[in-house]
Structure 1
Amino acid sequence: MAPVSLDALPQAVTRYLAAHRLHDTAAEIANFTSDATVTDDGTTHSGIDAIERWTDRTAGEYSYTIEPVAVDETSDREYTVTQRLEGDFPGGIVDLHFRFTLRDGLIERLVIEP
């Protein structure tokens, strides 16, 4: 993996991250392909409708701040953004890897894991 700056990320990733920070569901899902998948907490959500339900649910579960701490480019289609979350969830602080795979300028796959 090669480190990159946040400014060097593709627009779909930067737009998603900004929308995620604001809990803006409509802006988040606008960055996904229609057949995208998101895997979070070991569960995969397939398609825009499922991703929208997941986004709505997770936005209201806990209050937290989110700050990017590392950005890596795995290939011209794959990027990992490590983000530190601090909030009222069990443990209170966690670093999560947001692994993005892109297709045609949109997010085709997102895997979120420690």
Structure 2
Amino acid sequence: MNIDLPKVINAYFKADKKGSPQALADLFTPDAVVVDEGNTYTGRDAIRQWMMNASTKYTYTVEPFAQAEEGGRTIITSHLVGNFPGSPVDLRYFFVLKSGMIAELEIVL
């Protein structure tokens, strides 16, 4: 299913697919916060490191298939398949956007 993602969220998934931590980090505000697997990463440097670790630790593909809005957040549900425990899985990505950039991202089951 093709969905019409907001521009910066579409760019996020493209950067993730290419395994480009710097391109991905550049989509976030300087003080952005990412919460993933119980860990919190604050700022572009921490977000870049988070992506570098994820892309070296696992091989995966992610395919967004649903979009919703709730409480000022854009929720993208994606199918994730890879060499990680529990694969495949559907994850929800809770994005908060600010001035065309990602200010917050929380990834949950």
When the two structures are superposed, what TM-score results if normalisation uses the length of structure 2? 0.91
CA distance in 2, matches of 1:79, 1:38: 14
Q: 1:21-47 CA deviation, whole Å, 9 max, x = no partner?
A: 221112111110000000000111001
Q: Kindly state the Cα deviation for residue 73 of structure 1 after the two structures are TM-superposed.
A: 2.1
Whether 2:3 is the aligned partner of 1:6: answer yes
CA distance in 1, matches of 2:103, 2:87: 30
When the two structures are superposed, what TM-score results if normalisation uses the length of structure 1? 0.87
Whether 2:21 is the aligned partner of 1:46: answer no
Show the counterpart of 1:112. 107
Q: 1:63-87 CA deviation, whole Å, 9 max, x = no partner?
A: 1121112111225x52111111111
- Number of aligned residue pairs: 108
Which of 51, 58, 61 is the aligned partner of 2:57?
61
Show the counterpart of 2:92. 97
Q: Is the 8 A contact 1:6 1:14 kept in 2?
A: no
CA distance in 2, matches of 1:12, 1:98: 13
Q: Is the 8 A contact 1:38 1:46 kept in 2?
A: yes
State the secondary structure of the residue aligned to 1:98. Answer: strand
CA distance in 2, matches of 1:65, 1:49: 23
Q: Counterpart amino acid of 2:101? A: L
CA distance in 2, matches of 1:99, 1:72: 10
Which of 17, 21, 45 is the aligned partner of 2:17?
21
| Sequence identity percentage | 38
**Cα RMSD between the aligned structures?**
1.4
Whether 2:17 is the aligned partner of 1:31: answer no
